[in-house]
Structure 1
Amino acid sequence: MPNAFCTPHRAVCAVRWSGLLLAFLLLGRMAHAGEVEVLEQTAREWIEPALAASLPADGSAPLRTEVDIGSLDSRLRLAPCDKVEAFMPPGSRLWGRSRVGLRCVEGARRWSVYLPVTVKAFGPAWVLKRAVGAGATLTQEDAELAEVDWAAHRAGVLAAPERWVGLETAFPLTPGQPLREHMVRPMKAFEAGAQVRVMGGSGGIRISATGQAMTTGLVGQNARVRLPGGKVVNGLVQADQTVELAL
């Protein structure tokens, strides 16, 4: 018992025991800080190749990425682990605000923790020069190239003009917005039930017929048409409101 050794000088003994207790506490905190640092380093080493593999490949130039990795809760107390691996939680990706998981795969007790991660990916994109109303047809003059953060929104950037020129806006757009996938939709060529011309041919021979559209015709997408004899065909909707068959 401590008192057995402290009878002559209780005050000095108390100071010594307080110092020892503080030292043990500091050592414990240092060990915990070291464990947290190792875990965070494991996440960093995993993120770099995983991010490189997940970047979109349709940009006109490589994307310049910035990664901000958060910290683990300092109050965490994890069981010893011989092997820790990093992973992405189901349904998430390294894009914008996300999380990276760390789990113990070899240890007496299994555990999982999560680190907050923010990914920014800067690259060229088409940015609107002026306001555009809903349902308007986009032209090359509506946008200009600028560097933006591709990861600021989950919807993909429309980096190539052919992916947005001639399409309709899905909702009103404002100047400075980068053009993204959710902002546009194919132009409607005809409604279901309309009379449309079906075209087709091969080897220099072209045929045409008039039929009834069974589905709405969106430019660049397939539509079903019932011909006068009752046969139903599929073809690609053209901007001139015809349906092109592949024969």
Structure 2
Amino acid sequence: MLFFSALNPSAVARGLGVLALVCMGMSSVHAQDAGLEALRQEAQRWANEAVLKSQPPGVNLRMRAEVGALDSRLRLAPCGNIEPHLPAGARLWGRSRVGLRCVDGVTRWNITLPVVVSATGKAWVMRGHVAAGALVTESDVMEADVDWAEEPSPVLADRNQWVGQTAARLLSTGQTLRQGMVKPAQVFQAGASVRVLAQGAGFQVSSQAQALSAGVVGQPARVRMENGRVASGIVLDMRTVKIEL
């Protein structure tokens, strides 16, 4: 607070001048804060619309974007047209950035703001621990609402993507099943006796063979036929290799 002496007019004048400068400074700060908040709100409006269009196909997720604040020290030149955009290499998923650029101004500028995107929906979650290499069964998981965007790795939403496969590493209680957490199970060793299903245009022949490599469901395996011929096919299950002719 400023105190002025009635006996010193010059001091009063200097004090009023100081007070005016202080008030002008406070007004400038408030105007700057309001301008930055208006930019944040513009980015928020754009992000709200953009996340609705970025929902993965075939799933029902509750998408939400939360745009963070700009640095209060930022000073930007006046602009007649500001364009929101997604910076190169960024995606509206998890922790990311949204951009604002001046496209009509004496000084062109381009800034980014932090954004957190959540995508809540049903997914498969571990009921308990499953050791690395152990088979993942339906009793090991349950359905729950999770944030798909919490991690960059895609969620394994289809049960066929994980059922009957093995844990690629230790899976812990509460973890959401995601890509890279499971791998196909090995169903037979090299040297095992397997059934070969040879299929061509309009015909199908079944015969016995010996596996020359380990068999992993969905992966290629080499076999030696009864006539000694070596062939390669896709492992269907724990005893069957399919060969396309």
Gaps of 5+ in 1: 1-7
- Shift of residue 83, structure 1, vs aligned partner: 2.0
d(CA) in 2 for partners of 1:205 and 1:76? Answer: 72
The match for 1:5 is none
Task: Establish whether residue 206 from structure 1 lines up as the match of residue 205 from structure 2.
Answer: yes
Amino acid at match of 1:26: M
- Shift of residue 100, structure 1, vs aligned partner: 1.4
Q: Indicate conservation of the 8 Å contact 1:200/1:245, yes or no.
A: yes
Task: Establish whether residue 50 from structure 1 lines up as the match of residue 67 from structure 2.
Answer: no
Q: Tell me the SS of whatever aligns to 1:44.
A: helix
- Shift of residue 195, structure 1, vs aligned partner: 8.7
Deviations for 1:41-98, whole angstroms, at most 9, x for unmatched residues?
2211211222112222343xx2223433210000001122222222223333222222
d(CA) in 2 for partners of 1:233 and 1:125? Answer: 40
d(CA) in 1 for partners of 2:228 and 2:102? Answer: 63
The match for 2:4 is none
The match for 1:103 is 101
Number of corresponding residues: 236
Which residue of 71, 74, 80 corresponds with 2:72?
74
The match for 1:39 is 39
d(CA) in 1 for partners of 2:237 and 2:166? Answer: 12
Q: Tell me the SS of whatever aligns to 2:180.
A: helix
d(CA) in 1 for partners of 2:86 and 2:191? Answer: 47
Q: Tell me the SS of whatever aligns to 2:108.
A: coil
Gaps of 5+ in 2: 1-7
Q: Indicate conservation of the 8 Å contact 1:69/1:116, yes or no.
A: yes
Q: Aligned ranges for residues 80-229 of structure 1 at < 5 Å?
A: 80-189=78-187, 198-201=196-199, 202-206=201-205, 210=209, 217-221=215-219, 223=220, 225=222
1:234/1:101 CA distance change after superposition, 3 Å: farther
d(CA) in 2 for partners of 1:122 and 1:46? Answer: 20
Q: Indicate conservation of the 8 Å contact 1:128/1:179, yes or no.
A: yes
Q: Tell me the SS of whatever aligns to 2:160.
A: helix
Q: Indicate conservation of the 8 Å contact 1:195/1:213, yes or no.
A: no
1:76/1:194 CA distance change after superposition, 3 Å: farther
Q: RMSD over aligned Cα, in angstroms?
A: 3.1
d(CA) in 2 for partners of 1:190 and 1:109? Answer: 68
Most deviating of 89-98 and 224-233: 224-233
Q: Indicate conservation of the 8 Å contact 1:198/1:211, yes or no.
A: no
d(CA) in 2 for partners of 1:153 and 1:25? Answer: 44
d(CA) in 2 for partners of 1:29 and 1:15? Answer: 21
d(CA) in 1 for partners of 2:194 and 2:79? Answer: 68
1:84/1:240 CA distance change after superposition, 3 Å: same
Amino acid at match of 1:139: T
Q: Indicate conservation of the 8 Å contact 1:209/1:227, yes or no.
A: no
- Shift of residue 157, structure 1, vs aligned partner: 1.5
d(CA) in 1 for partners of 2:176 and 2:84? Answer: 33
The normalised TM-score by structure 2 is: 0.80
d(CA) in 1 for partners of 2:198 and 2:234? Answer: 10
Deviations for 1:119-153, whole angstroms, at most 9, x for unmatched residues?
22221111111211101111111111111222221
d(CA) in 1 for partners of 2:228 and 2:86? Answer: 52
d(CA) in 1 for partners of 2:202 and 2:52? Answer: 46
d(CA) in 2 for partners of 1:42 and 1:193? Answer: 66
The match for 2:5 is none
The match for 1:11 is 11
Q: Indicate conservation of the 8 Å contact 1:189/1:238, yes or no.
A: no
